[in-house]
Amino acid sequence: MSINRTQVDVESLVDVRNGIQAKKIFWDQEIYDLEIEQIFGKCWQFLTHDSLIPNPGDFTTGFMAEDEVFVMRQDDGSVKAFLNVCSHRGARLVAAEAGNARAFSCPYHGWSYSMDGALKVVPMEKELYRGALDKSQFGLREIRVESYRGLYYGNLDPQAPSLSDYLGDVKFYLDIWMEVNGGIELVGPPSRSLLNCNWKTPAENFVGDAYHVGWTHVASLMALGGELSSIGGMEAPPNEGLGMQVTSRFGHGFGVLWDTAPAVHAIGSDAGKLYREWFASRRPKMVEKLGAQVGRIYGSHLNGTIFPNNSYLLGTNSFKLWVPRGPHQIEVFTWTIVEKEMPSELKNAIVTGMNSTFGTAGMLESDDSDNMESMTQNNRGRATREGKLNSQLGLGFDKLDSVFPGVIGQSAIGETSYRGFYRAYKEILGADNWQTILDLDPDAWKRELTGQ
């Protein structure tokens, strides 16, 4: 049990039934320290995708919160992940962002490790250690890794549920986009940028904020044209039929905007033209396979977050990791997500379209970044951070559905998945361990959110 658990009154941070959170969750160091231990120490975090490490020896480096890690394809095709730190004096072992190697030598004193993390070579071992070093005890620290549709996630907690159980209800929806012929792939290397915001500000925005789209992004939507430009300026409330929101037991959630998948790939651009043709040819097959109601998800726009810090836009083709760098800063990693069977001409056009919208200097990314930073930085004021955050949009109208799993918000413009995100946030932040969470009634979270 850490000191932090006694310093933070977790119960006071989130009022699930009333859709309220304490503003200091975006600021306080004690809360951040507890998140690192309880959330990033226990939850699955995105590492890499099959397409980025296709061959034995291929590796990528990255982060699980503030822990540096690397992920490597083994000779037998399996994937292992390790803390990226030498077992001798703790220097960073792998400096490259990606590459192919058979072994790694530490830049400090030259200790060398094989692909599976074993310590193999210690310079002048015989002469200097004279048999006193037990190399078998000083391999790299291996991290638990599991994959879903080629996406690899790591977990620092051996007690955590499987990745599949952790993803739970959202797999139903992700499969509609990812279980396509050939599957999906990520195009790397990721672009990287720093934002002076708390990691939860973009995570909550992506999990379920269609409300801001017509306002924050009005200029961008008007410039791009396309399916979403009609809500630019928020002059009229959208029809109830605009879309829906979904949330799930461990906080993963998303919003759906019906029939708008290519919306931010400009109508006049190569990406926009080719992508609209792609959906016109593929969607009818999905409807045939899944039925009209479920098949409609493919070709609709999804904005989502896999709790805690992995977000995606399906349609816009952005795949994000918000890596915390203290309570007031993140490093953003952005990949482009495409379908493997897309012709290279379309993939290239989508990469260009994604980068001009949600890449580091993308027009919509820039719109959002200002909000993320101000939501964080204005908590510098002592009185300000004692305040509350409101996520009551759609409260009282969340329901269960016979076709769609999870708790469903009936309008795309709602805060259902915010409430689900912070319900899970509180539960995981305050739990002794995973078992205490898994021992709860598996439907209790639904009653908590729907009030039924």
- 49 SS3 class: strand
Closest contact distance (angstroms) between CB of 109 and ligand FES is: 3
Residue 395 has φ and ψ, to the nearest 5°, of -60, 135
Closest contact distance (angstroms) between CB of 2 and Fe ion is: 35
Closest contact distance (angstroms) between CB of 126 and ligand FES is: 16
**Annotated catalytic, 88?**
no
Nearest to 180 by CA among 273, 261, 289: 289
- Annotated active-site residue in 67, 209, 367, 398: 209
**What torsion do the CA atoms of 132, 138, 139, 141 make, to the nearest 10 degrees?**
170
Determine if 204 is a binding residue for Fe ion (CB under 5 A): no
**Annotated catalytic, 252?**
no
Closest contact distance (angstroms) between CB of 111 and ligand FES is: 4
Separation between Cα atoms, residue 277 and residue 275, nearest integer Å:
5
Two tokens at 156? 């620092």
Closest contact distance (angstroms) between CB of 370 and Fe ion is: 10
* Alpha carbon separation from 159 to 3, 134, 152, 200 (Å, rounded): 21, 29, 18, 24
- 343 makes contact, choosing from ligand FES, Fe ion, none, with CB < 5 to 8 Å by partner type, with none
What residues from 343 to 372 belong to the interface with Fe ion (CB under 5 A)? 368
The amino acid present at 83, given as its one-letter code, is L
- Annotated active-site residue in 33, 88, 157, 212: 212
Nearest residue relative to Fe ion (C-beta): 368
* Residue nearer to ligand FES on the CB measure, 136 or 344: 136
- Annotated active-site residue in 217, 252, 265, 328: 217
Contact criterion met (CB below 8 Å) for 376 and 87: no
* Residue nearer to Fe ion on the CB measure, 35 or 368: 368
Determine if 339 is a binding residue for Fe ion (CB under 5 A): no
Number of residues that bind Fe ion (CB under 5 A): 1
Closest contact distance (angstroms) between CB of 197 and Fe ion is: 13
* Residue nearer to ligand FES on the CB measure, 137 or 181: 137
- 368 makes contact, choosing from ligand FES, Fe ion, none, with CB < 5 to 8 Å by partner type, with Fe ion
Task: Work out whether strand 112-114 and strand 119-121 pair parallel, antiparallel, or are unpaired.
Answer: antiparallel
Residues that bind ligand FES (CB under 6 A): 86, 88-89, 91, 106, 108-111
* Residue nearer to ligand FES on the CB measure, 33 or 125: 125
What residues does 226 pair with on adjacent strands? none
Contact criterion met (CB below 8 Å) for 176 and 286: yes
Closest contact distance (angstroms) between CB of 368 and Fe ion is: 4
Two tokens at 271? 């990406």
Contact criterion met (CB below 8 Å) for 221 and 213: yes
Whether residue 308 is preceded by a cis peptide bond, meaning omega within 30 degrees of 0, is: yes
Closest contact distance (angstroms) between CB of 216 and Fe ion is: 6
Determine if 35 is a binding residue for Fe ion (CB under 5 A): no
- Annotated active-site residue in 50, 67, 367, 368: 368
- 286 makes contact, choosing from ligand FES, Fe ion, none, with CB < 5 to 8 Å by partner type, with none
- 111 makes contact, choosing from Fe ion, ligand FES, none, with CB < 5 to 8 Å by partner type, with ligand FES
Separation between Cα atoms, residue 265 and residue 317, nearest integer Å:
10
- 86 makes contact, choosing from Fe ion, ligand FES, none, with CB < 5 to 8 Å by partner type, with ligand FES
- 67 makes contact, choosing from ligand FES, Fe ion, none, with CB < 5 to 8 Å by partner type, with none
Nearest to 443 by CA among 404, 400, 397: 400
* Alpha carbon separation from 431 to 24, 162, 426, 440 (Å, rounded): 20, 18, 8, 11
Determine if 67 is a binding residue for Fe ion (CB under 5 A): no
- 5 SS3 class: helix
- 91 makes contact, choosing from ligand FES, Fe ion, none, with CB < 5 to 8 Å by partner type, with ligand FES
**Annotated catalytic, 15?**
no
* Residue nearer to ligand FES on the CB measure, 91 or 287: 91
Which secondary structure element, helix H or strand E, spans residue 426, and what is its range?
helix 416-430
The amino acid present at 122, given as its one-letter code, is V
Taking only Cα atoms into account, the Rg of the chain, rounded to an integer number of angstroms, comes to: 23
- 89 makes contact, choosing from ligand FES, Fe ion, none, with CB < 5 to 8 Å by partner type, with ligand FES
Separation between Cα atoms, residue 105 and residue 92, nearest integer Å:
10
- Annotated active-site residue in 9, 75, 109, 401: 109
* Residue nearer to Fe ion on the CB measure, 250 or 418: 418
**Annotated catalytic, 328?**
no
Residue 357, Cβ density class (10 Å: 0-12 exposed, 13-18 middle, ≥19 buried): buried
Residues that bind Fe ion (CB under 5 A): 368
Q: Which positions are annotated as active-site residues?
A: 109, 209, 212, 217, 368
